[in-house]
Structures are given as C-alpha cells and as structure tokens.
Amino acid sequence: MNLTIENIVLIGSILLLLSIVAGKTSYKFGVPTLLLFLAIGMLAGSDGIGGINFDNPKIAQFIGVVSLNFILFSGGLDTSWKSVKPIVREGLALSTLGVLLTALSLGTFVWLITEFTFFESMLLGSIVSSTDAAAVFSILRSKSLALKTNLRPTLELESGSNDPMAYVLTLTFLSLVTNPNQGFLAILLLFLQQMILGAVAGFVFGKLSKYIINGIKLGFEGLYPVLVIALMFITFSATDFIGGNGFLAIYLCAVYLGNQELIHKKTIFQMFDGLAWLMQIVLFLTLGLLVFPSEIVPYLGIGLLISLFLILIARPVGVMISLIFFKMKFRRRLYISWVGLRGAVPIVFATYPLLAGIDKANMIFNIVFFISVTSVLIQGTTLSVVAKWLKVALPEKVKKITEIDKLVLNIPKSSMQEFEILPEYQAVNKRIVDLNFPKTAFIIMIKRKGQYIRPGGSTEIESKDTLMVLADQVEDFEKVEKCLQNPDKA
C-alpha cells in the first residue's frame, strides 16, 4: 500500500491506536512497550500484513530528529537537579568517556570479525555507542523500578546526555569513511566545537527561555506549552546553525527550565509528558515501517554476535573504566552496565550512512536495527530481575515523585516510596510514635484494605498496610526500611 494524502491520517491513527492498546497490556507479558510499537510498524510495512511501502530514510531521519527533540526535552524537564547534582561527575564520565570506550571496543571487534574497513567498523560502533533516552526513560519509569542510592538518576542522566557524544562520533567516522585523509586535529576540533557550543548554547537558551516564558503575557494558558515548543526548536536549530550539538543544547536547556519557577509550569510539564509518549510511538512506528525484515535475516548471525559482545563486553568495559575513579560498589557498576539499552536513537543515526550513500550502508542499518531490538528484548525485559539479583533494588513497591507529580500534588519533598508491611515486620501492631522513624521522612497516608487512612502518632501499623512515605533524599528510605523491619535497631 502506498501512503497518500487520502489514507495517511486513517492509517496513522489506526497504527497509533493499536500501539496504545498493545502498550497497555504488553507488560503483563514482560515485553517493553517500545518493542511493541516497533513490531506494529514492521507488521504494517512492506514485508508485513499491512503492505505499506515506506522506503524513505530522509523522511525517517526527519521524524527521528523531531521526535528526539521532544523526548530529550521532556526527559530534561523531569530531571531534578537535587537528585542529579551528587552524581553529575559520574553521569558525565559515562556519557563521554564511557560512550567513546564502548564505540572503540565494539568497533575493534567488528573490524576483526567482519570485512568492514577500520573506519566503517568504528562507524558502526559509534552508532550504537550510547544508551537510548527513549528506551531508558520509558522502561525505568513504566516499571516504577525502585533502585538504591543514586542509581536511577545516574542512569537517566547518562541516557539523556550521551546521545550528543554518539552523534559527534557518528558524524566523525562517517566523514572519515567518505574522506579517509582527514587529519586528527580536524576531528578533535569538530568534537570540541560540537560539545562546547552545545553546552554553552543550552545554558544561554535556557536562561533566555525562562525570561521569555515568564515575561510574555499570552492571555491563554494553553499557549504556553506551544511557546515552549517553539523555544525548544529554536534552541536546537540555532545551536546546530552555529556548529554546536543541538541535542546537548535542548537537554541542558530543559534541565535548567525544569528546575526554575515558570508560569503555568504544571500545564507545560503535562503537555510535554504526553508529547514525549506520542513521539516515542511515532518514532518506533516509523522505524518499524522503514525496515525490511527479509533484509535482516542474512545478518542475524553476525548481528547476534555483535550484540552479545556489546552487551557483555563493550558496554561493561566502557562503564568500568569510566567509573574507575569514583567510589561505587561493584554490583552497582555492573547494573549500570546492564542498563545499556539501545533503541530508536541508534536506528536514527544509522540513517546517516544511508543518506551519505556509502557502500555498506544497508548492511550497517540492518545490523544496527537487530542490535537495538535484541538490546531492548534482552536487557529491557530483565531490568527488575537483574536489579534484585545484584541487590540494588528496594524490596518495596516504590514510586519516585517526578517534577510532574510534585506540581500536581504540591509536595515539597523530592521523592515518595510505598512500603508494604509484611507480617514478619516488627513494626506490625506498633504505634507510629514508637517506631523511631527518621526525622527526614514522614508517613503521609496509609492504605489499609482498600481504604486510605490519614496517620497520626498514635496510629498502629497493621500487617499488609501500605505506607506512603515522603523524604528529601533517596538514602532516607533505607533508614525507613530498617526502621519498619526492626524499629529498635533503626
């Protein structure tokens, strides 16, 4: 089926509806929603039952770049500076040195086992070197996975800030494939230009955007999210125009704005949260339509080998070396290594060789697509299991309060966790006042037999109660856990 003006809206809306319905039920079977979106796109494509003929990498790249703007900006808005500040150095190390080491080690492996040239191998390694923001944000948040200490903000900061590094590496090695005689100095200058201008532009546009949002009087609340969208695209395109990295600029701009007082901030956040989901669905559907499954089959063997090397060796090596100067337990480093999800971003980056017309562009695209699918399938479905196995997950059902939650609930604390009281806990049948509860945390609500109870000091804790606890720091919840299990030794 050919896409025409007459049927594109109908087809698009049906695919969108199917994706939402499939995504709603997918986690009952342990399948990440993003993989479902991708599968629906493939089924609707030329090799699938839909028969939609879509073979336009340029349009796919355009949709990908626009979608990544919304995904990265939304992720930046939801990034709490209080949570991120303690692990900024670790996050930056992972998003720069970690990405570089992953690209070099995987590129070397590809060069040794395939007929790719050295620069072609490094290009492939660069394309899949970064973790995917859409995949990490989506899977971590939809699973409501509770991780100890600062693991979660570390993972989200890395995924939100490492795409620029992979983008620069991709452009660098793509230029070396097409023009192998370029000097090292030119490459280094390109890297520095992209990263420095991108960082400076992100901060400058962030301050400018705050001034515009709070200073302009639009008269209609609904126009403010539209204003922010315009500012987002201006930040990206203007940064790219002056030679900086637009992806880095919009992420930093969003992080700045998300931690400032803005007019109609609640409306802006809620709008971008919905748009980020929409863009994730559109992006994965588009990439699913672009791929031809029949063309991937010849590369299944080599694709699986490269994917396993990336998951089990290249990613862990990059993480371990980049974090070598920081104090962090080995099992936490190991978990960070496992959350090396590849998703839509590598597939979008793989369209650049297609448009450049290099010899092995189709082979690179199909291998990258296979790597992304296996990464989401293998790593995305096992995040909770591996977290429990490595003992980096909190045992209780936990929900971290996002910036959107704080705006809706008007809660000053940084995070909330739900603790289920098990029968063996020593807190059972004890009054709250007798629990020796940490001063940095407090119980705001108790869920008991389907009803909500507002607690007081004399309220007794019963077995199977669910306590909703607020605190300033993630570390406070470990004290709460000990207090509930053994109040006398808390």
CATH 1.20.140.10 assigned to 8-389: no
| Mean of pLDDT values over 408-430 | 74
| pLDDT, position 304 | 93
| pLDDT, position 149 | 67
| pLDDT, position 438 | 79
Most confident of the following: 20-34, 63-77, 472-486: 63-77
Q: Of 490, 400, 488, 401, which is closest to residue 438 (Cα–Cα)?
A: 490
| pLDDT, position 490 | 44
- DSSP 8-class letter at 360: T
Most confident of the following: 68-77, 127-136, 387-396, 400-409: 68-77
| Mean of pLDDT values over 93-111 | 93
Q: Which helix (H) or strand (E) holds 453?
A: strand 451-453
Q: Output 266 or 108, whichever has higher pLDDT.
A: 108
| Mean of pLDDT values over 284-299 | 83
Beta-bridge partners for 451: 448
| Mean of pLDDT values over 61-70 | 90
3-state secondary structure of 418: strand
| Mean of pLDDT values over 394-398 | 50
Q: What percent of the chain has pLDDT over 70?
A: 85
The structural domains of the chain, with segments of one domain joined by +, span 8-389, 412-489
Give the least confident one: 5-9, 21-25, 150-154.
21-25
Q: How does pLDDT run across 299-336, given as a tens digit for each residue?
A: 889 999 999 999 999 999 999 999 998 888 888 899 98
Give the least confident one: 162-166, 341-345, 397-401.
397-401
pLDDT band at 33 (very low <50, low <70, confident <90, very high): low
| Mean of pLDDT values over 90-94 | 89
| pLDDT, position 186 | 76
pLDDT band at 396 (very low <50, low <70, confident <90, very high): very low
| Mean of pLDDT values over 215-222 | 84
Q: How does pLDDT run across 79-89, given as a tens digit for each residue?
A: 877 777 888 89
Judged against a pLDDT cut of 70, whether residue 430 lies above it is answered with yes
Q: Give the sign of the dihedral formed by CA 386, CA 389, CA 393, CA 399.
A: positive
**CA-CA distance, 435 to 457, in Å (whole number)?**
10
3-state secondary structure of 452: strand
**CA-CA distance, 352 to 354, in Å (whole number)?**
5
At 238, list the tokens: 């203007």
Judged against a pLDDT cut of 80, whether residue 182 lies above it is answered with no
pLDDT band at 34 (very low <50, low <70, confident <90, very high): low
Give the least confident one: 29-38, 213-222, 284-293.
29-38
| Mean of pLDDT values over 90-102 | 91
Contact 178, 123 (CB under 8 A): no
Long-range CB contacts (within 8 A, 24+) of 349-354:
349/126, 349/127, 349/166, 349/167, 349/170, 350/127, 351/57, 351/58, 351/60, 351/61, 351/64, 351/290, 352/61, 352/170, 352/171, 352/174, 353/123, 353/127, 353/174, 353/177, 354/57
Q: Give pTM, 2 decimals.
A: 0.72
| Mean of pLDDT values over 369-374 | 88
Judged against a pLDDT cut of 90, whether residue 392 lies above it is answered with no
Tell me the pairing of strands 441-448 and 466-471.
antiparallel
What is the chain's mean pLDDT, rounded? 82
The correct CATH number of 412-489 out of 3.40.50.1010, 3.50.50.60, 3.30.70.1450, 3.30.230.70 is 3.30.70.1450
| pLDDT, position 106 | 95
Judged against a pLDDT cut of 70, whether residue 28 lies above it is answered with no
| Mean of pLDDT values over 401-424 | 64
Judged against a pLDDT cut of 90, whether residue 124 lies above it is answered with yes
Judged against a pLDDT cut of 50, whether residue 397 lies above it is answered with no
**CA-CA distance, 220 to 113, in Å (whole number)?**
60
| pLDDT, position 54 | 76
| pLDDT, position 134 | 65
